[in-house]
Structure 1
Amino acid sequence: MALLSFWACVLIVCFSLSLGEAANLSDLYPPLWEESPGQFSEYRVENGKSIINPWIYPERMGMYKILLTQTARYFEKFAPENENNILWGLPLQHGWQYNTGRLADPSQRTDCGYESGDRLCISVDSWWADMNYFLCALPFLAAVDSGIMGISSDQVILLPPPKDEMKFCVNVSTCQSSIPIAMRKWNIFYKRLQSPFSSFEDLLKYLWDAHTQTLHDVFKLFEHRLEYYSKPEADFERTWLVDVDYISALRLPTTLTRIYELQKSMPPRMLVNGDKVPFISDFSQRQNVFLFILSLVRDVNNWTGSLSLTIWKYFLKTQNARVKTLEVIETILEKFNSASPE
């Protein structure tokens, strides 16, 4: 039980969530949400196929926007205005990547993604952009395949990047053949989503199963991209992959409000050489502590050979344990947030 309390405290600091109600939910939307395409007809159409360029920020964000719109009806029973659609975590994470410059060319050989160049460009050399590609393409194309999107599987195609084209699937069939396990898990999620008997907790389980499987399946394809980054940023990227498994076990609800508040703890810029966690001067205390605890979780995971993750999953195997842990986190967080200067 002491170990459970330790990990609860770890996640308490990591998930600096302030669950106050926003005056307007649209204020929480990711960057350029309103300007991004919201239906297939807003993309280029050739021979009855919607042609999407996911290497342009608004076009990739538009894929999420269509996905959130088309799945809204399945979440009406949980909250109004689509606020409790658990797919919100995907576009909000992508928006954070855009805001913090993580979609730009880390090699700096091009001006892709930079304010001084093509700001809306998404670089294929960006580790974040490549990993996010599969957390966009797979849930989007699996939704098409499931029938949720209202078009057939052969009516949409994604344009490949300017290089390394063979690493990326571009339609339903190529994703099913190249990333079969993750694609199948996304299909299972949508099958559960369409079932009238699925609970919110059920949907979170299948969403996190698909999310973590996707990251595990594609990480090795892009591990070499880490060489473009400073050591602190590359360490953060590796750490993030480890910590997602712990978040998944908790089944953190990836709703609009929760993820928006969580991202206040995320680093507001790329990490550079000289950044020493938890003493980064231009980061808030919350952000410094967040990064420190993420690193601690990674280190404990490495020291125990993943035993800590196994124990964490064991203690959180029941819904009651997860609910109680989240309640503890939220209660202590309220005190932590009120006591912490911004």
Structure 2
Amino acid sequence: MRPAGFGLILACAVALSSAAVILENGMPVLWAQTAGQVSELPISNGILTPDPWHFLNRMSLYRLMIAATDPLMGSMGMSSTLSPLWGLPLQLGWMLTSGRLADPTDATTCGLQTGDTMCISTQSWWGCVNYFTSALPFLSAAQQGFFGPDVQVQLQVPAGVEDYCTTYADCSTRYPDAMSKWDAFFQSHYSSEELAFVNSWLNSAEYVAAAHFQANLEKSTLFLTPLPSRILRAGDVAPNIADLSQEENHSLSIFSWMNNINNLLGGSLVRMWKSAMCSVATREKGRDLLEQLLLNPGFATSTFLSIITEMTTSC
């Protein structure tokens, strides 16, 4: 039986004469064969024991880190491919398909087509350097609870190799500067409630921009005053957040409603709004409509939808 990924490696070897392959179906090479859940990694006595010297295991570390941190990347945009971590798996894929993870000494067949194509050689300078941007951040992410509470990790290491840290404590002792920076990266995150507000805030910008909102002192103050006066915490559910005012609870509810309706409609609410903002008159009406929706608790959301529909047909 040929090793996993043999066909891809063979095809990549042919392609090397022009350019190394880094994408497969729009994702990093062999992405579909990596672990999509932490439970798919090797485990022993309740401790995760991934092998970072096996390409699929090392690529899995990236996939799991990206999946765990994606909900915190709302400020990057709405796409699931905007995380700054994406450069790392692409780089690892390039190292594989360009032959840089194989044993350069020819003392073993690690990483070669005649051996284990998924093997990352401890003699590969590229593979060794990449260890510090894959194993270390994964250990940090696990320590910060991104893969669940009390998840312990003990990385595997090839026999006879002693130069690589394999646990969070070990890496923190050997490389305190690098680990403290990864810890800072994984600790500066918000609650899911705050992230939901971030996404709804980004969605609201579509309406404001299309209506040519007049950002003067008076209007800006009017719209910013009812926004939440603190960062949202776990358990905050508008309109029933006790330590926020009625106005703040109302604005959070409206922001959430606008985003949720737009998502349910596949983005058509924003498209309808942009289409309706086709003239000076409709944009003026649109600005008034936004003001009513955000500032007047008695203004029904159903009225907002019917007015948009009417305005769209008049353009």
TM-score scaled by length of structure 2: 0.51
Determine which of 136, 139, 142 is the counterpart of 1:138. 136
Determine which of 85, 89, 97 is the counterpart of 2:95. 97
Identify the residue that residue 188 of structure 2 maps to in structure 1: 192
For residue 118 of structure 1, report the CA deviation from its aligned partner.
0.9
Q: Is the 8 A contact 2:38 2:147 kept in 1?
A: no
Question: Which amino acid counterpart does residue 179 of structure 1 have in structure 2?
Answer: Y
Identify the residue that residue 69 of structure 1 maps to in structure 2: 67
Determine which of 172, 175, 179 is the counterpart of 2:175. 179
Supply the distance in 1 between the matched residues of 2:72 and 2:25 (Cα, whole angstroms): 23
Question: Which amino acid counterpart does residue 143 of structure 1 have in structure 2?
Answer: A
Supply the RMSD in Å over aligned alpha carbons: 2.1
Question: Which amino acid counterpart does residue 114 of structure 1 have in structure 2?
Answer: L
Structure 1 residues without counterparts, runs of 5 or longer: 1-24, 200-342
Higher relative contact order (CA 8 A, sep 6+): 1
Determine which of 96, 107, 122 is the counterpart of 1:124. 122
Structure 2 residues without counterparts, runs of 5 or longer: 1-22, 199-315
Structure showing the higher helix proportion among its residues:
1
Question: Which amino acid counterpart does residue 47 of structure 1 have in structure 2?
Answer: N
Count, aligned residues: 172
Supply the distance in 2 between the matched residues of 1:48 and 1:164 (Cα, whole angstroms): 24
**1:1-342 alignment runs, 5 A limit:** 27-153=25-151, 155-165=152-162, 167-194=163-190
- Please give the per-residue CA displacement for 1:261-303, whole angstroms capped at 9, x wherever unaligned: xxxxxxxxxxxxxxxxxxxxxxxxxxxxxxxxxxxxxxxxxxx
Q: Is the 8 A contact 2:103 2:122 kept in 1?
A: yes
Q: Is the 8 A contact 2:50 2:57 kept in 1?
A: yes
Q: Is the 8 A contact 2:61 2:138 kept in 1?
A: yes
Supply the distance in 2 between the matched residues of 1:97 and 1:85 (Cα, whole angstroms): 21
Supply the distance in 2 between the matched residues of 1:149 and 1:32 (Cα, whole angstroms): 22
Higher radius of gyration, 1 or 2:
2
Question: Which amino acid counterpart does residue 71 of structure 1 have in structure 2?
Answer: T
Supply the distance in 2 between the matched residues of 1:35 and 1:75 (Cα, whole angstroms): 25
SS at match of 1:177: helix
Supply the distance in 1 between the matched residues of 2:166 and 2:37 (Cα, whole angstroms): 19
For residue 161 of structure 1, report the CA deviation from its aligned partner.
2.4
Supply the distance in 1 between the matched residues of 2:138 and 2:189 (Cα, whole angstroms): 14
**Structure 1's 50 and 177: CA in aligned 2 closer, same or farther, altered over 3 A?**
same
SS at match of 1:80: coil
- Please give the per-residue CA displacement for 1:81-101, whole angstroms capped at 9, x wherever unaligned: 421111111111111101101
TM-score scaled by length of structure 1: 0.47
**Structure 1's 52 and 124: CA in aligned 2 closer, same or farther, altered over 3 A?**
same
Q: Is the 8 A contact 2:101 2:111 kept in 1?
A: yes
For residue 115 of structure 1, report the CA deviation from its aligned partner.
1.3
